Structure 1
């Protein structure tokens, strides 16, 4: 079936009225109850592996109706397998980048089973997750690795992380961990779709782009495209289950073309109630168990860096305490790193600044001099006086923003 070629966009009156705005907010807030599925990374070709096939003959639907369908969806129980890939175009440092990032997350005597130590492993490459949910208080996600498995289980007030490779266990509570991870780290197609829907405004075109099958289920394709030219985001495609309204697949392609930056989708999914035993966990014999409170107090754990955004009133300045310049897809977050003189030099007199500088592009402007670090999606400018500008925008857009801030 050919794409519907819908002309529905967010600039239509129906997309601009109060009820519609409320619907979009509801769609963005709606969360399939996979509170601890945040072990997977934030930003993500697996098209053949996902076994998308066919163009099922479904009733026509408008973009607004499809967004409303997502908002009205109320999937509470599911189990399945998610395959996802990230291709940010990060520089190849021979594994050094993963070691540095994992070390930064783990810190001190932290446990390898702490979910924070797993997040950066998912920033590149392809991964397989097994997920299950039974309401808001029971979720499980397992990261399937070579000859090993990492599982994160939320069962009532308890959150358990288990790394079979190291035989280490992390134990925390839902209040300590689950809510924070759910809000900050998307993993399933639904999680990514929620984040994308938050960006839908008058700078965005939203259309229905035909139909597809994902994991054997009929789905509509919602196509989200920025209208602004300075963004690095090309398009976002979301396959929405025709029956339940739940997103089954999420694909983000960059404006530069080529392989998807983010590709996440179910290869198998069931909406039947998972067995209660799915969420049972007892630390294996001999496993090292780290309590969440102990991990936070472990040597090597550091507090906020000097100059970092503070809680309270500073948070009102913008998302995560940053000032936000521009609007829509051209939004740029900016803050003062507190590092005068530009890039850090590193401990022991090492030329860390020179090393990092070699990975970026030197730029100049009215703001002075700086270095731009680029990926296929997110770019960041660090000026020589310590200012940082970051967003899903082009290098030239960052320079213009820095110039305008002077």
Structure 2
């Protein structure tokens, strides 16, 4: 019979027992600089649209999380659709310029095929991806665009990026970390990647339950719902559709506490667990293509030639910021650090224009701490005070002001 929604919820303490012996996931935090706030939220997603209500055996939340953890799917191919609505202002093409220009393309020595720039395009709008994988050493991701395609291919030690619009190629080599390390380092592209990030949030401040079933990409799935117990978070709920046979997350959904449409929606529209043809991962630069070789051997790079997605602990995070501290707990965690600028937004002749531009994107606030500017999306908010202190997290504006007032 199909599982029914239950008023009984599972918390971290109840989930830990079946996860004994496995590595604990790092605590979920969002400590990012203000200009990186939007990009850092792409690992969270929204609304499951199901077509049918499959009849499946009952399963508990703890059992379903264990099923996800034990999923060993390494071979698959399919189509993924991702829609992101962070509520960012229209910057008149600035986003794409930052992605393909500042990080590649027209940038000095860069390439429009460099994945470090191209994958940031997923931060807004709707995109269609074709994905394929055959174990830890062969993966391919293709971003389909209007009359063009961007492909990212990992085959053994070679990583290739190809932008058909500009006929540019990016090439790098990776010295193989083991499969588990590669999985941690690769850029998120599938519901499984997003689900793993969201499940790191599960602790005593979290409610977890099985809420019925869904039909996704032609496959029967359980619906796992993760919700903050605390008030003050911008996260409403995360829904994960889990394939009942393989335990692979097929769709990942995040809705904001403010209501409305989902912040991001990522899910398979087609999926096959057959082994992809070996030719899928073969690549030869087209005739006349501009090839850029990545020779920066001193960078720590993961799968697809991309730097690791993020620090693994608060101690690691602190290394990149001046006096980084984590305030609160669970979904209400706030990261605070000093920008070292001795002031808020840039001012004076050099910073005047930038001050006005950034100020127009934010909201001026006051409190016991003084004055500051809040920059917000539908998911992540950040406060910069007049003395250059930053408070950021998946919390409301009022929560940031309260933390600043406390002088923590």
Q: Same fold (TM over 0.5)?
A: yes
Q: Which residue of 2 aligns with 1:303?
A: none
Q: How does 1:136-285 map to 2 (within 5 A)?
A: 136-175=136-175, 183=185, 185-285=187-287
Conserved 8 A contact 2:364-2:371: yes
Give, in angstroms, the shift of residue 380 of structure 1.
0.4
Conserved 8 A contact 1:131-1:142: yes
Of the three residues 395, 404, 407, the one matched with 1:405 is 407
Conserved 8 A contact 1:83-1:127: yes
Of the three residues 67, 71, 83, the one matched with 2:65 is 67
Give, in angstroms, the shift of residue 372 of structure 1.
0.2
The alignment partner of 1:358 has SS state of helix
Conserved 8 A contact 2:83-2:126: yes
Q: How does 1:72-151 map to 2 (within 5 A)?
A: 72-100=70-98, 102-106=100-104, 107-151=107-151
Conserved 8 A contact 1:170-1:289: yes
How does the TM-score come out when normalised to structure 1? Answer: 0.85
Per-residue CA deviations over 1:299-336 (Å, capped at 9, x if unaligned) read xxxxxxxxxxxx99994565965421111000111111
- Distance of 1:176 and 1:384 partners within structure 2: 46
Q: Which residue of 2 aligns with 1:33?
A: none
The alignment partner of 2:103 has SS state of helix
Residues 347/226 of structure 1: CA separation in 2 closer, same or farther (3 Å cut): same
- Distance of 1:272 and 1:82 partners within structure 2: 17
2:332 aligned with 1:334? no
- Distance of 2:351 and 2:186 partners within structure 1: 35
- Distance of 1:205 and 1:187 partners within structure 2: 26
Moved more, 19-28 or 229-238: 19-28
The alignment partner of 2:62 has SS state of helix
Conserved 8 A contact 2:48-2:251: no
Conserved 8 A contact 1:151-1:163: yes
Aligned length: 378
Per-residue CA deviations over 1:270-319 (Å, capped at 9, x if unaligned) read 0010000000001111111111116999xxxxxxxxxxxxx999945659
Conserved 8 A contact 1:23-1:68: no
Residues 100/170 of structure 1: CA separation in 2 closer, same or farther (3 Å cut): closer
Moved more, 314-323 or 388-397: 314-323
Residues 21/405 of structure 1: CA separation in 2 closer, same or farther (3 Å cut): farther
The alignment partner of 2:403 has SS state of helix
Conserved 8 A contact 1:234-1:254: yes
Residues 198/58 of structure 1: CA separation in 2 closer, same or farther (3 Å cut): same
Conserved 8 A contact 1:188-1:265: yes
- Distance of 1:146 and 1:219 partners within structure 2: 32
- Distance of 1:45 and 1:16 partners within structure 2: 25
How does the TM-score come out when normalised to structure 2? Answer: 0.85
Conserved 8 A contact 1:43-1:262: yes
Task: For CA contacts below 8 A with separation 6 or more, give which structure has more relative contact order.
Answer: 2
Give, in angstroms, the shift of residue 174 of structure 1.
2.5
Moved more, 343-352 or 192-201: 343-352
Moved more, 338-347 or 109-118: 338-347
- Distance of 2:146 and 2:48 partners within structure 1: 22
Uncovered stretches (5+) of structure 2, i.e. residues with no partner: 28-38, 300-310
- Distance of 2:20 and 2:390 partners within structure 1: 32
Residues 113/260 of structure 1: CA separation in 2 closer, same or farther (3 Å cut): same
Root mean square deviation, CA, Å: 3.1
